């Protein structure tokens, strides 16, 4: 009998904790469901002052919403390049132009159109088989060249996919650490 009472007290304590954590609407529902436990509803009301602690974290929320700098590592550069390759395969123009933005801006300055119109043409030049392969393509880290922590070369040979690509299809790229992340700045 004592075990059952201990379990009941433990369950009541868990319900009270969950009610406090879930907010006032759930606390009210739990209090309505268990009217014989006024202590639990009192406990649920007392920690309602705790949201002021949450409010304190809300004041600090502008910091987490601001993008944190990405690590200056070979692994992060590979991750960004794979993000670009997958976006290319999915024809995700926003992601492609975000990662390749600096390189696309250089091309635009040389007389090519803006990134969105240039890559719309690139999407048409990639076969369906190649697009599908790019969606899951990976990069072999052993073939990636780190010139400096800010400048990393992604040779075509490093791309691992189920389709083959030539330099004229995909090419090799340089990623540079700019504005807290890696971006494609040059292609060959």
Q: Which of 164, 185, 166 is CA-nearest to residue 176?
A: 185
- Position 187 scores a pLDDT of 82
Determine the 3-state secondary structure of 72 from DSSP. coil
Q: Which of 171, 174, 173, 172 is CA-nearest to residue 148?
A: 174
Statement to judge: residues 92 and 159 lie in one domain:
yes
Task: Provide the token pair at 55.
Answer: 């409010």
Statement to judge: residues 32 and 84 lie in one domain:
no
- Position 6 scores a pLDDT of 32
- Put simply, whether the predicted model's pTM sits higher than 0.75 gets the answer no
- Structural domain boundaries, residue 37: 2-65
- Position 64 scores a pLDDT of 55
119, 97 in Cβ contact below 8 A?
yes
Statement to judge: residues 81 and 131 lie in one domain:
yes
Statement to judge: residues 84 and 114 lie in one domain:
yes
Statement to judge: residues 142 and 83 lie in one domain:
yes
Statement to judge: residues 89 and 117 lie in one domain:
yes
- Position 182 scores a pLDDT of 96
Statement to judge: residues 30 and 86 lie in one domain:
no
- Position 70 scores a pLDDT of 93
Residue that the structure tokens 């949450």 belong to: 54
- Position 115 scores a pLDDT of 93
Q: How far apart are CA 182 and CA 70, in angstroms?
A: 8
Q: Which residues of the chain have pLDDT under 50?
A: 1-57, 61
Statement to judge: residues 26 and 90 lie in one domain:
no
Q: For the domain that residue 131 is a member of, what is the CATH number?
A: 3.10.450
Contacts of 31 (CB under 8 A, 6+ apart): 19, 37, 40, 41, 44
């Amino acid at each position: 009998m004592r075990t059952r009472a201990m379990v009941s007290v433990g369950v009541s304590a868990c319900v009270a904790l969950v009610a406090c954590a879930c907010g006032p609407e759930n606390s009210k529902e739990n209090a309505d469901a268990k009217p014989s436990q006024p202590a639990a509803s009192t406990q649920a009301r007392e920690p309602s002052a705790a949201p002021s602690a949450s409010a304190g974290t809300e004041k600090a929320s502008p910091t987490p919403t601001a993008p944190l700098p990405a690590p200056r590592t070979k692994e992060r550069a590979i991750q960004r390049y794979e993000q670009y390759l997958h976006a290319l395969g999915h024809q995700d123009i926003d992601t492609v132009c975000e990662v390749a933005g600096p390189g696309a801006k250089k091309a635009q300055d040389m007389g090519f159109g803006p990134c969105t119109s240039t890559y719309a043409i690139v999407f048409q030049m990639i076969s369906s088989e190649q697009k599908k392969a790019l969606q899951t393509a990976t990069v072999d880290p052993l073939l990636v060249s780190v010139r400096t922590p800010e400048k990393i070369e992604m040779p075509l040979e490093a791309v691992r996919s189920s389709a083959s690509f030539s330099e004229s299809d995909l090419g090799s790229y340089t990623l540079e650490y700019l504005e807290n992340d890696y971006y494609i700045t040059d292609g060959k």
